[in-house]
Structure 1
């Protein structure tokens, strides 16, 4: 029974000591990037009413939510996605705001994944949302922040893939597909299942030029020039506008000098139904999933009463940390502490030493000495943690010795 008390539930984990410091350092660097672009911090509750994240909002399925009841029998959920929560918040507090809002956040999300998936159920997301502007410049600003945020963590080799859900939806509507057929086709294209797409096409009548373009979607990825080859085959105005928007964003990214970080994939189609235009994901090696996901969601806020466009993204911090670790990228953090060891009668002098060191910005632990422990005992125990320098106070404070601990060796001074 006691052993069970030490374990965490499936899908969550403890983070401590150096790993925790590194995570906080990476988060701090990313949020600094957001601030340099003029984004303001926002926090939303960890749990909200169930209706905020229903199917109509395009978030996760009800089976993937952690649901519970309050004392008034209202159904509540742990936040599975930050974007709908921020949309609610903006509609509540900024209903009459007509200038673009730039908001950023650091928040936990909770998704009740199946245990066999091996995914964490509690994740840290940090991201940004631009509300009130529908422009290629706004889209490009999001991509620029993604690139700079990932670079701030120390990551060097990564790629941001851009897609356009309007391209697919325009073609699917022209083909006369109902919602269920569109969703089946979306999954097949997203999974690059060429044969599955071909089989579905056989069972659904449509114009030949639409069929040809839909058949090409699983393979439409690469540079922008690779994507533009399909443009002449498209007659649907909605799909053409989607391609035009990607071209506009590409031109702006050239001005940022970031075009080398970007590739394109018209077969990338998010399961989140609130996306209405450009979507994107960032990938690197060392992790099997995306680091960043985002896109434009111009019709989400209207569901909360404020009809305004928006675009945003979220960085999954745990996946970023995994990639940094597997790529052996060092995160420069200060984890060195100082300890002042004293006997009870030497506390006054020990406190003076600690106060002086703390005023210089050092991290100091005050430790009353256990007389049954030797100095060597303390040195051995400190090797497991961040303490690398000791001050040993003795004889009423008349004697103060420094002891340095380095790579398993204790050096006295």
Structure 2
């Protein structure tokens, strides 16, 4: 026998037994919270046409996609991200809908990255998308739903960090940065590489006053007070409006009673270019990656022919499970299975008993009696 057949490829793993039971229980708790907010289940294909995740849409880089071909020669990809699929689906089936649409979903995503650093290439994600509502109240609903979903899963100590793409973009426009420079700068600031960002701006001849303004973006993080500090450093309308929206959002979150779980970080800039307004990530100790990622993508549906604002988030279930494990916040699962053993002579009797127990909701397994 080829022993290699027993192993999984790098970046994927088997989950079974109690671990999988706990994972299913967490998914059920989160799903219950999403439905409680009025979100309806939707299922999209595991693979899509390549163009759904193309560079123009600003999704996952092509080099990180699992690509293959169908019989007609079309390039297909395993989904690396749910949001473009949700946008495509909304445009296809709700093109003429003018009332808000609420989707929720669960499934696996696939990212073909070489630099794993312990990360999985296949992960389970659960999420929600609110399409057709561009209000700050919609922003508040999504972040409140993130908080309540994590609490329902058993996570107690976490923080939802909120950023605003428009604040950064407003300064970039004011400074006259071209698209390439803006994208390079975004990556450097997002990675907290301030020395690299400074070198880039100096090398591109950006005025010193704008350099200071752009480099300061990474320092605007913490409680709601940082919004006032950030406002004082800019004078362009786009950035000022972005701060004003965050201030309104904070009041909405206070109405939900979740403000203690929230902080702000204007230096948090997503790698996904389809985000247009607020972005947010939920962090907790014991896990290096965010357990929730989300944001507003008001122009993404336009690529599929439907002009509509939208906002959404995903819970990275595998990372959440790691956090719950390390924080010893286990979700209780029923582990008791009643075993009924039988001989050929009393099989009918034991089967009848098993059926009666199952009818009462008692997990029951039949097992043949082994001969001594």
TM bin (shorter chain): over 0.9
Aligned residue number for residue 101 of structure 2: 101
Larger mean CA deviation between 112-121 and 288-297 belongs to: 112-121
Deviation per residue, 1:223-273 (Å, 9 max, x gap): 121232121221111111111110010000011111100000000000100
Q: Is the 8 A contact 1:11 1:115 kept in 2?
A: no
SS of aligned partner of 1:311: strand
Q: Distance in 2 between matches of 1:198 and 1:58?
A: 25
Measure how far apart 1:188 and its partner are: 1.6
* Number of residue pairs aligned between Structure 1 and Structure 2: 372
Q: Is the 8 A contact 2:11 2:116 kept in 1?
A: no
Aligned residue number for residue 214 of structure 1: 214
Aligned residue number for residue 196 of structure 2: 196
Greater RCO, 1 or 2 (C-alpha within 8 Å, sep 6+): 2
Q: Distance in 2 between matches of 1:265 and 1:115?
A: 26
Q: Distance in 2 between matches of 1:61 and 1:230?
A: 31
Q: How does 1:202-351 map to 2 (within 5 A)?
A: 202-351=202-351
Measure how far apart 1:209 and its partner are: 4.2
Measure how far apart 1:157 and its partner are: 0.1
Unaligned runs of 5+ in 1: 373-413
Q: Distance in 2 between matches of 1:190 and 1:75?
A: 31
Aligned residue number for residue 124 of structure 2: 124
TM-score by length of 1: 0.88
Q: Is the 8 A contact 2:130 2:311 kept in 1?
A: yes
Measure how far apart 1:369 and its partner are: 1.2
Q: Is the 8 A contact 1:209 1:234 kept in 2?
A: no
Aligned residue number for residue 147 of structure 1: 147
Q: Between Structure 1 and Structure 2, whose CA radius of gyration is higher? A: 1
Q: Distance in 1 between matches of 2:293 and 2:232?
A: 29
Q: Is the 8 A contact 2:227 2:247 kept in 1?
A: no
Q: How does 1:2-81 map to 2 (within 5 A)?
A: 2-81=2-81
Aligned residue number for residue 113 of structure 2: 113
Q: Distance in 1 between matches of 2:227 and 2:188?
A: 19
SS of aligned partner of 2:232: helix
SS of aligned partner of 1:230: helix
Measure how far apart 1:176 and its partner are: 1.1
Q: Distance in 1 between matches of 2:211 and 2:115?
A: 39
Question: CA 1:278–1:115 in structure 2 vs 1: closer, same or farther (change >3 Å)?
Answer: closer
